[in-house]
Structure 1
Amino acid sequence: MNGSLHSSPNVVDIKLKRGPAGLGFNIVGGVDQQYVVNDSGIYVSKIKEDGAAALDGRLQEGDKILAINGVKLEDRTHKHAVELFRTAGDDVELRVLKKLPHHMNGPTGSQPEHESSVSSLGVLAALAGVAAIFAFIYMRNLRKHL
Protein backbone atom coordinates (compact mmCIF):
# COMPACT_ATOMS: atom_id res chain seq x y z
CA MET A 1 0.00 0.00 0.00
CA ASN A 2 1.22 3.48 -0.68
CA GLY A 3 1.83 5.99 2.09
CA SER A 4 -0.52 8.64 0.70
CA LEU A 5 -3.54 7.22 2.49
CA HIS A 6 -3.60 8.86 5.93
CA SER A 7 0.04 8.90 7.00
CA SER A 8 -0.66 9.30 10.70
CA PRO A 9 0.55 7.54 13.84
CA ASN A 10 -3.05 6.34 14.29
CA VAL A 11 -2.99 4.53 10.92
CA VAL A 12 -1.73 0.95 10.99
CA ASP A 13 -1.48 -1.89 8.50
CA ILE A 14 -2.84 -5.19 9.78
CA LYS A 15 -2.40 -8.49 7.95
CA LEU A 16 -4.93 -11.20 8.76
CA LYS A 17 -5.21 -14.77 7.53
CA ARG A 18 -8.81 -15.77 6.90
CA GLY A 19 -9.84 -18.59 9.23
CA PRO A 20 -12.71 -21.10 9.19
CA ALA A 21 -15.08 -18.34 10.36
CA GLY A 22 -13.74 -15.74 7.94
CA LEU A 23 -11.87 -12.68 9.18
CA GLY A 24 -13.79 -12.65 12.45
CA PHE A 25 -15.34 -9.19 12.53
CA ASN A 26 -18.41 -7.30 11.38
CA ILE A 27 -18.49 -3.90 9.67
CA VAL A 28 -20.90 -0.98 9.55
CA GLY A 29 -20.99 2.20 7.51
CA GLY A 30 -20.77 3.21 3.88
CA VAL A 31 -22.15 6.10 1.85
CA ASP A 32 -25.63 4.59 2.13
CA GLN A 33 -25.46 3.75 5.87
CA GLN A 34 -23.40 6.34 7.72
CA TYR A 35 -22.30 5.03 11.11
CA VAL A 36 -20.52 8.24 12.17
CA VAL A 37 -22.14 11.60 11.47
CA ASN A 38 -20.69 13.23 8.32
CA ASP A 39 -18.43 10.21 7.70
CA SER A 40 -19.31 7.51 5.19
CA GLY A 41 -16.36 5.32 6.19
CA ILE A 42 -16.41 1.62 7.04
CA TYR A 43 -16.04 0.81 10.75
CA VAL A 44 -15.50 -2.37 12.77
CA SER A 45 -18.71 -2.97 14.74
CA LYS A 46 -17.92 -6.30 16.37
CA ILE A 47 -14.90 -8.54 16.85
CA LYS A 48 -15.95 -12.18 16.95
CA GLU A 49 -14.44 -14.24 19.74
CA ASP A 50 -11.76 -16.69 18.52
CA GLY A 51 -11.90 -15.22 14.99
CA ALA A 52 -8.81 -14.18 13.02
CA ALA A 53 -9.10 -10.54 14.15
CA ALA A 54 -9.54 -11.46 17.83
CA LEU A 55 -6.57 -13.84 17.74
CA ASP A 56 -4.40 -11.15 16.13
CA GLY A 57 -5.55 -8.60 18.73
CA ARG A 58 -4.77 -5.36 16.89
CA LEU A 59 -8.13 -4.64 15.25
CA GLN A 60 -10.63 -3.16 17.70
CA GLU A 61 -14.32 -2.30 17.63
CA GLY A 62 -14.68 1.30 16.46
CA ASP A 63 -11.59 1.23 14.21
CA LYS A 64 -12.13 2.69 10.74
CA ILE A 65 -11.00 0.50 7.85
CA LEU A 66 -9.46 2.75 5.21
CA ALA A 67 -8.47 0.09 2.66
CA ILE A 68 -8.46 -3.64 2.06
CA ASN A 69 -5.63 -5.12 -0.02
CA GLY A 70 -4.83 -1.63 -1.27
CA VAL A 71 -8.39 -0.82 -2.35
CA LYS A 72 -9.64 2.35 -0.64
CA LEU A 73 -13.02 2.04 1.05
CA GLU A 74 -13.98 5.72 0.96
CA ASP A 75 -17.14 6.55 -1.00
CA ARG A 76 -18.28 2.91 -1.12
CA THR A 77 -21.70 1.55 -0.31
CA HIS A 78 -21.95 -0.91 2.56
CA LYS A 79 -22.81 -3.72 0.16
CA HIS A 80 -19.77 -2.98 -2.03
CA ALA A 81 -17.47 -2.94 1.01
CA VAL A 82 -18.87 -6.30 2.17
CA GLU A 83 -18.24 -7.73 -1.31
CA LEU A 84 -14.62 -6.50 -1.22
CA PHE A 85 -14.12 -8.33 2.08
CA ARG A 86 -15.75 -11.50 0.78
CA THR A 87 -13.55 -11.63 -2.32
CA ALA A 88 -10.30 -10.50 -0.65
CA GLY A 89 -8.73 -13.96 -0.49
CA ASP A 90 -7.12 -15.78 2.43
CA ASP A 91 -4.36 -13.26 3.21
CA VAL A 92 -5.92 -9.86 3.80
CA GLU A 93 -4.11 -6.59 4.43
CA LEU A 94 -6.11 -3.86 6.11
CA ARG A 95 -5.15 -0.21 6.45
CA VAL A 96 -6.85 0.93 9.65
CA LEU A 97 -7.38 4.25 11.39
CA LYS A 98 -7.33 3.35 15.08
CA LYS A 99 -10.38 4.34 17.07
CA LEU A 100 -10.31 7.92 18.33
CA PRO A 101 -12.37 9.10 21.30
CA HIS A 102 -14.67 11.28 19.18
CA HIS A 103 -15.79 8.23 17.18
CA MET A 104 -17.33 6.60 20.20
CA ASN A 105 -20.89 7.06 21.35
CA GLY A 106 -21.54 8.45 24.82
CA PRO A 107 -18.97 9.91 27.24
CA THR A 108 -15.40 9.53 26.06
CA GLY A 109 -12.42 9.55 28.37
CA SER A 110 -12.08 11.80 31.39
CA GLN A 111 -12.69 15.14 29.68
CA PRO A 112 -16.53 15.09 29.59
CA GLU A 113 -16.66 13.73 33.13
CA HIS A 114 -14.29 16.51 34.19
CA GLU A 115 -16.44 19.12 32.47
CA SER A 116 -19.63 17.83 34.09
CA SER A 117 -18.03 17.72 37.54
CA VAL A 118 -16.76 21.28 37.09
CA SER A 119 -20.25 22.34 36.04
CA SER A 120 -21.74 20.58 39.07
CA LEU A 121 -19.25 22.29 41.37
CA GLY A 122 -20.07 25.65 39.79
CA VAL A 123 -23.80 25.13 40.35
CA LEU A 124 -23.21 24.04 43.94
CA ALA A 125 -21.02 27.09 44.62
CA ALA A 126 -23.66 29.41 43.14
CA LEU A 127 -26.38 27.79 45.26
CA ALA A 128 -24.22 28.09 48.38
CA GLY A 129 -23.66 31.78 47.59
CA VAL A 130 -27.39 32.41 47.16
CA ALA A 131 -28.12 30.55 50.42
CA ALA A 132 -25.50 32.68 52.23
CA ILE A 133 -27.08 35.90 50.94
CA PHE A 134 -30.55 34.80 52.04
CA ALA A 135 -29.21 33.77 55.46
CA PHE A 136 -27.51 37.19 55.83
CA ILE A 137 -30.72 39.04 54.89
CA TYR A 138 -32.80 36.85 57.20
CA MET A 139 -30.45 37.38 60.16
CA ARG A 140 -30.34 41.14 59.53
CA ASN A 141 -34.16 41.34 59.46
CA LEU A 142 -34.39 39.15 62.56
CA ARG A 143 -32.12 41.57 64.51
CA LYS A 144 -34.30 44.52 63.50
CA HIS A 145 -37.37 42.84 65.00
CA LEU A 146 -35.69 42.01 68.30
Structure 2
Amino acid sequence: MPLFVLRIAEDGPAANDGRLRDGPIISVELERGVRGFGFSIRGGQEFGAMPLFVLRIAEDGPAANDGRLRVGDQLISINGRDTKGLTHEEAIQLIKQHPTVRLTVRRHKLP
Protein backbone atom coordinates (compact mmCIF):
# COMPACT_ATOMS: atom_id res chain seq x y z
CA MET A 1 0.00 0.00 0.00
CA PRO A 2 1.41 3.43 -0.90
CA LEU A 3 2.43 5.92 1.76
CA PHE A 4 0.77 9.34 1.52
CA VAL A 5 1.93 12.61 3.06
CA LEU A 6 -1.09 14.20 4.72
CA ARG A 7 0.40 17.40 6.08
CA ILE A 8 3.74 19.15 6.17
CA ALA A 9 4.47 21.57 9.00
CA GLU A 10 5.42 24.92 7.47
CA ASP A 11 8.45 25.28 9.73
CA GLY A 12 9.40 21.58 9.79
CA PRO A 13 12.36 19.89 8.11
CA ALA A 14 10.30 18.40 5.25
CA ALA A 15 9.15 21.88 4.23
CA ASN A 16 12.62 23.35 4.46
CA ASP A 17 14.95 20.75 2.97
CA GLY A 18 13.27 20.53 -0.44
CA ARG A 19 12.91 16.74 -0.51
CA LEU A 20 9.15 16.74 -1.06
CA ARG A 21 8.12 19.03 -3.91
CA ASP A 22 4.86 19.72 -5.62
CA GLY A 23 4.83 18.10 -9.00
CA PRO A 24 2.86 18.89 -12.10
CA ILE A 25 -0.87 19.50 -12.29
CA ILE A 26 -2.46 17.05 -14.73
CA SER A 27 -5.94 17.08 -16.28
CA VAL A 28 -7.55 13.74 -17.07
CA GLU A 29 -10.90 13.03 -18.70
CA LEU A 30 -12.20 9.47 -18.55
CA GLU A 31 -15.29 7.79 -19.95
CA ARG A 32 -17.07 5.28 -17.75
CA GLY A 33 -16.48 1.66 -18.72
CA VAL A 34 -18.56 -1.41 -17.99
CA ARG A 35 -17.15 -1.52 -14.43
CA GLY A 36 -16.80 2.21 -13.78
CA PHE A 37 -13.82 4.49 -14.36
CA GLY A 38 -11.22 1.99 -13.20
CA PHE A 39 -9.80 3.73 -10.14
CA SER A 40 -10.55 4.04 -6.44
CA ILE A 41 -9.84 6.87 -4.04
CA ARG A 42 -8.95 7.36 -0.39
CA GLY A 43 -9.37 10.33 1.92
CA GLY A 44 -11.95 12.98 2.61
CA GLN A 45 -13.13 15.35 5.31
CA GLU A 46 -14.19 12.51 7.64
CA PHE A 47 -10.59 11.20 7.72
CA GLY A 48 -9.19 14.20 9.58
CA ALA A 49 -9.41 16.36 6.46
CA MET A 50 -7.12 13.94 4.60
CA PRO A 51 -6.78 15.06 0.96
CA LEU A 52 -8.33 12.79 -1.66
CA PHE A 53 -5.82 10.50 -3.38
CA VAL A 54 -5.93 7.82 -6.05
CA LEU A 55 -5.61 4.55 -4.11
CA ARG A 56 -5.82 1.92 -6.89
CA ILE A 57 -6.04 1.69 -10.65
CA ALA A 58 -7.82 -1.37 -12.04
CA GLU A 59 -6.08 -3.34 -14.78
CA ASP A 60 -7.70 -2.88 -18.18
CA GLY A 61 -10.05 -0.18 -16.86
CA PRO A 62 -10.48 3.26 -18.41
CA ALA A 63 -7.90 4.88 -16.08
CA ALA A 64 -5.25 2.22 -16.81
CA ASN A 65 -5.92 2.32 -20.55
CA ASP A 66 -5.65 6.12 -20.56
CA GLY A 67 -2.35 5.97 -18.67
CA ARG A 68 -2.26 9.47 -17.18
CA LEU A 69 -3.66 8.77 -13.70
CA ARG A 70 -1.30 7.20 -11.14
CA VAL A 71 -1.61 5.77 -7.65
CA GLY A 72 -0.78 8.56 -5.20
CA ASP A 73 -2.06 11.41 -7.38
CA GLN A 74 -3.91 13.97 -5.27
CA LEU A 75 -7.35 14.96 -6.57
CA ILE A 76 -7.54 18.75 -6.82
CA SER A 77 -10.90 18.95 -8.60
CA ILE A 78 -13.63 16.60 -9.82
CA ASN A 79 -15.79 17.82 -12.70
CA GLY A 80 -14.62 21.37 -11.99
CA ARG A 81 -15.40 21.27 -8.25
CA ASP A 82 -12.58 21.87 -5.77
CA THR A 83 -12.08 18.81 -3.55
CA LYS A 84 -11.15 20.78 -0.41
CA GLY A 85 -13.64 19.99 2.33
CA LEU A 86 -15.34 17.15 0.45
CA THR A 87 -16.19 13.94 2.24
CA HIS A 88 -15.25 10.65 0.63
CA GLU A 89 -18.90 10.00 -0.24
CA GLU A 90 -19.34 13.45 -1.82
CA ALA A 91 -16.28 12.81 -4.00
CA ILE A 92 -17.65 9.40 -5.06
CA GLN A 93 -21.00 10.97 -5.99
CA LEU A 94 -19.27 13.65 -8.10
CA ILE A 95 -17.28 10.97 -9.90
CA LYS A 96 -20.38 8.85 -10.59
CA GLN A 97 -22.54 11.81 -11.61
CA HIS A 98 -21.83 11.68 -15.38
CA PRO A 99 -20.65 9.11 -17.94
CA THR A 100 -17.46 11.17 -18.26
CA VAL A 101 -15.37 12.41 -15.33
CA ARG A 102 -12.93 15.33 -15.49
CA LEU A 103 -10.17 15.18 -12.89
CA THR A 104 -7.42 17.62 -12.05
CA VAL A 105 -4.66 15.97 -10.04
CA ARG A 106 -1.34 16.99 -8.52
CA ARG A 107 1.50 14.54 -8.76
CA HIS A 108 3.91 15.00 -5.84
CA LYS A 109 7.58 14.38 -6.47
CA LEU A 110 9.86 12.57 -4.07
CA PRO A 111 13.65 12.70 -4.29
TM-score, scaled relative to structure 1: 0.57
> Aligned partner of 1:90: which letter?
P
Contact (CA 8 Å) 2:78, 2:91: kept in 1 or not? no
Contact (CA 8 Å) 1:60, 1:99: kept in 2 or not? no
The answer for the alignment partner of 2:43 in structure 1 is 29
Q: How many residues align?
A: 90
**Bigger fraction of residues in helix:** 1
Structure 1 alignment gaps of length 5 or more: 1-7, 102-108, 110-146
Structure 2 alignment gaps of length 5 or more: 1-21
The answer for the alignment partner of 2:76 in structure 1 is 66
Instruction: Report the aligned-residue RMSD.
Output: 1.7
Distance 1:63 1:9 in 2: 10
The Cα offsets for residues 68-121 of structure 1, whole Å up to 9 and x where unpaired, read as 11011111111111111121x1121111101332xxxxxxx5xxxxxxxxxxxx
* 49-58 or 92-101, larger mean C-alpha shift: 92-101
1:99 and 2:71 correspond: no
Structure 1 stretches of 4+ with a deviation exceeding 2 A read: none
Contact (CA 8 Å) 2:76, 2:82: kept in 1 or not? yes
> Aligned partner of 1:48: which letter?
A
**Bigger fraction of residues in strand:** 2
Contact (CA 8 Å) 1:65, 1:73: kept in 2 or not? yes
Identity of aligned residues (%): 36
